[in-house]
Amino acid sequence: MARMIAGKELHPVGLGCMNVSWAYGTPPAHEDCVALVNQALDLGYDHLDTARIYGAGKNEALIAEALKGRRNAFFLASKCGIVVEGPKRGVDCSPETIRTAIETSLRTLETDYIDLYYMHRFDPKVPIADSVGEFTRAIEAGKIGTYGVSEWSSPHIREAHAVHPVGAVQTEYSLWTRNVELAVLDTCKELGIPFVAFSPVGRGALCGELKDPSTLEEQDLRTKMPRFNAENWPKNLTLIERFAALAKQAGVTPAQLALKWVLSRGENVHVIPGTTNPQHLTDNYHAAEIDVSQAVLDEAGRLINHDTVAGHRYHDAIRPTIDTEEFA
C-alpha cells in the first residue's frame, strides 16, 4: 500500500494541516488541534503537509508544539513563495526569499531538517534555474531532503527537473478539479515524480455534509470561490447528492469514495485531505484500504468531472497565480 516520496515509503493518505490554523473559518480550540495532529500519528499518518502562509506561521508552530519529541515519526513538508505581508502580496520565489523562508521554517518547526520543501506557486519573475539552485544548495547543506513545486505547468516542471530532480509535484486534484489531467499527471508519471493531490475532497464539498455555503463564516476562503456561490452551488449540490448516494450504495463515505478515486489515478499519487473532525481523520486514513469496484469509481468519474461541475475553482484575482494548464 505504501507509496514513495524522496526515497521514503509513506502511507498514500497524508494530512493537510492548513485548516487547523487557517482558511476555512474559525479554527478549533488550540488544545483540540494539538490532540488532532497527535491522533493522526497514532492512527498511522506519516506525511504531514504545512506551509509558511498557513496562519502566517501559526500552523508550523502548532506542529512543532504538538509533536515535540515525535519528529522522527513523520515525513514533513512545508512551502514558501506566497507572500502576504501587509501591502506586499504576491508570489516571490527569489533565491533570497527561499533561503530566508527555509531558515524561518526550520526555526518555527523546531527541527534541523525538513523532508520536502515546495515552491507554493510559480514565479514568472525569477528564472527557474535560480530558484531551483537555491533549493539544491539547501539540499546539499542538509536542511531539506528534496524540493517540490505546487500548481506548476508541465513545461515548467520539466525545466525544473532538468536543473535538479523534482521531489514531488503538489496540485489540486479531485473529481471536480481535473486540470492536472491535461498534462501534469502524465508528466509526473513519465519523469517518475510523486504527485500529491491537495483538496482531494473538493474543499469539503464532496463530503456531502455542506448543504448551504451561505452559512459559512465570512473569512472562509470558499465564500469567494465560484463553485460555492448562489448561482453555481445548487447545480453542484445536485451532483454531490447523487455522488453521496453512490457512496452509500458502495458502503463507504462520500469522502472515502472521493479519496479512493484520486488514489486510483496512478501508483505515484498521494492525497493530503485536511480535517478538523477526529472521525473524518479516521475515515480518511482508511480510504486507501477500502474495497471499491472499478465500476463504482468509473461511475463517480462520470458523475462529477470538469464538464458537469458549475463554476471555476478560483475567483478572478487568484487565477493569474495558477500556472497549471487550464481547460479552454
At 85 the pLDDT is 72
- Residue 251, pLDDT above cutoff 90: yes
Is 185 within 8 Å of 200 (Cβ atoms)?
A: no
At 87 the pLDDT is 62
- pLDDT band (50, 70, 90) for residue 154: very high
CATH number of 3-204+261-290: 3.20.20.100
Task: List, in order, residues 6 or more apart from 12 with CB less than 8 Å away.
Answer: 1, 2, 3, 263, 269, 270, 271, 288
pTM for the structure as a whole:
0.97
Instruction: Tally the residues of the chain.
Output: 328
At 328 the pLDDT is 87
What does 48-105 look like in DSSP terms, one character per residue?
EE--TTTTTTHHHHHHHHHTTT-GGGSEEEEEE-EEEETTEEEE---HHHHHHHHHHH
| DSSP category for residue 27 | P
> pLDDT digits over 201-211, tens only?
999 999 999 99
Cell numbers placing 221: 476562503
User: In the chain, what are the domain boundaries?
Assistant: 3-204+261-290
> pLDDT digits over 28-46, tens only?
999 999 999 999 999 999 9
> pLDDT digits over 50-101, tens only?
999 999 999 999 999 999 999 999 999 999 999 887 666 799 999 999 999 9
321 vs 151 pLDDT, higher one: 151
Residue 285 to residue 273: CA distance in whole angstroms = 9
Catalytic residue ranges: 54
| DSSP category for residue 120 | S
- pLDDT band (50, 70, 90) for residue 307: very high
- Residue 135, pLDDT above cutoff 70: yes
